[in-house]
Chain A
Amino acid sequence: MKTSTQTAFRDAPFQLRGASFTMMVLKVGDPRNPNFFPVLAGKIAQAPNFFKNAPVVLDLDDLPPGMPFDFGQFSGLLRNLGMVAVGLQGGTPEQQKDALAAGLAVLPPSRDAKTFDPLAGSGRSPAQGMGAGGGPVEAPARPAPQPEPAPPPAPAAAASRGTLMITEPVRSGRQIYAQGGDLVVVGPVSPGAELVADGSIHVYGALRGRALAGVGGDKASRIFCQSLEAELVSIAGLYRIADDMDRKVLRKQVQIFLDDGFLHIDPVAA
């Protein structure tokens, strides 16, 4: 007996859905330090309910290169403290292999890992060393002794990393994905173009293509546009096609959001 894939899916004894969770990341510096687990236990003792059976993702980027790491043993010790190791963030191919063998999931590397490096670099840049060290002539002679820390422009950098900014018209056939953040388009979006974002989508121009916000499941994300002429809009998987849109909102400045599980398209007062 054969059934089509469609019916097979409909009658499946399960449902597969995307969801997002907030989890703690444990950055492991030196697991051999005898104080490692006692200090961690002290931390947990401050808020035992918060940490009770909490899922934890391991990050081994700070581990000295080449140092072996026993995922099974480490997970067991974390269990004793009431934490559940569920995955490894980033890591080398060997670490990823070992993690999988120990029953942990492999997750993509953290995004803020990169924000850190350029900042550290600029703190030690020759220009800054010269400014702190006085005269430009003697400056090269002595290395800047890491004076007061440079004012951290970190928040701005982090914010711009979270938002993908497109300042040209988005042409038919182009697909743009803002991973992990918002998408801002300054210009029109043509029919046949596709905007996808984990966060919200803002179009300063006419939206004539497709826009899918909150594709990672973020129900609070929204879509904003200057003129709604879209082929399809979607938030967190709920979508509406052009044919089903209220004629009153077409070609209007609108915002699109989820409320009570329904997709709302409301005009924005100019």
Chain B
Amino acid sequence: MAKIITMTSGKGGVGKTTSSAAFGTGLALRGFKTCIIDFDVGLRNLDLIMGCERRVVFDFINVVNGEARLNQALIKDKRVENLFILPTSQTRDKDALTMAGVEKILEELKKEFDYILCDSPAGIEKGAQMALYFADEAIIVTNPEVSSVRDSDRILGVIQAKSRRAEQGLEPVKEHLLLTRYDLDRVERGEMLKVEDVLEILAIPLIGIIPESPAVLKASNVGMPVTLDEKSTAGQAYMDAVARFLGEKVEHRFMKPEKKGFFDRLLRRTA
């Protein structure tokens, strides 16, 4: 049974698209046929992060408007088997989406895919509501700072009130918290919220903590989901999150500052 997952946050710039790319790639690496949809109409970014921007011919909006078939718009990833991207339009805006059009595409995708990952735009308006309306599960991307936590709280309220599952009185959307850009040093110094502080306010299960890592920006710039960088802590943390999403018990890593060994200190001093 195909599942629709929405990656959302309320606030912008917290890492929704990066997380969608990394998480979706992770699901595909685990053998699930996965499609990532860019719902951020007008601010097309997912294709850049996934490194397929030069292969976009038709997009999500073309399919909604019946100008192209779904198969013409889907882009198959060249690196990972089972991974597809549905890019969005850069020239249109959120008003180009219709509930009926989105539903039709999702129903069609459900027949072929195991997971459909919707990369939501920021905000709580039409675009974001459209991305979360059909969700079975939601991953809330949050940074450890107060405004991000408050906006996440708000979007959780929107999910509980305005999703299809809420409107039809079905089993509620399953919520997961993904804490990104977690900077251990700054948390230690009290400049960022602790995991416990965030959990206390949002009160939803934690699916993963992604440490702040230079590998993330580097990966974005070269169009490679960070999950494919197996050496990076962020990539490993995303794979852990995928495992937890699939119901496996995995300990949270990267939450304690790494013990700097003698050689590390020596190297750092000389470097």
A residues within 8 Å of B by Cβ?
Answer: 168-174, 187-188, 190-193, 206, 208
Contact = CB atoms under 8 A, between A and B. Distances in A.
Interface stretch (B54-62, B152-160, B209-217, B236-244): B152-160
Contact of A172 (B157, B161, B203): B157
Contacts of A174: 157, 161
B201 interface: yes
8 contacts: A171-B153, A171-B160, A172-B157, A190-B150, A190-B153, A191-B150, A192-B150, A192-B154
Contacts, number: 37
B201 A188 contact: yes
Contacts of A190: 150, 153, 201
B160 A172 contact: no
Interface of B: 124, 150-151, 153-154, 156-158, 160-161, 200-201, 203
Say whether chain A's binding surface is mostly helix, strand, loop, or mixed.
loop
Contact of B157 (A173, A187, A188, A208): A173
A208 B201 contact: yes
A187 B203 contact: yes
A170 B153 CA distance: 9
A67 B73 CA distance: 66
A187 B160 CA distance: 15
A190 B156 CA distance: 11
A185 to B, nearest CB: 13
Nearest to A169: B203
A2 B103 CA distance: 56
Nearest to B150: A172
Contacts of A172: 150-151, 153-154, 157
Contact of B160 (A168, A192, A206): A168
Contacts of A188: 200-201, 203
Nearest to A174: B157
Given A172-B154, A206-B200, 5 more contacts: A174-B157, A188-B200, A191-B150, A191-B153, A192-B150
Contacts of B151: 172
B162 to A, nearest CB: 11
A204 to B, nearest CB: 13
B201 A173 contact: no
Instruction: List the 3 shortest-distance A-B pairs measured between CB atoms, nearest first.
Output: A171-B157, A172-B153, A172-B154
B116 to A, nearest CB: 25
Nearest to A170: B157
Contacts of B158: 173
Contacts of A193: 157
Contacts of B124: 173
Contact of B153 (A168, A187, A192, A206): A192
Contacts of A191: 150, 153, 201
Nearest to B155: A171
A110 to B, nearest CB: 28
Nearest to A209: B153
Contacts of A192: 150, 153-154
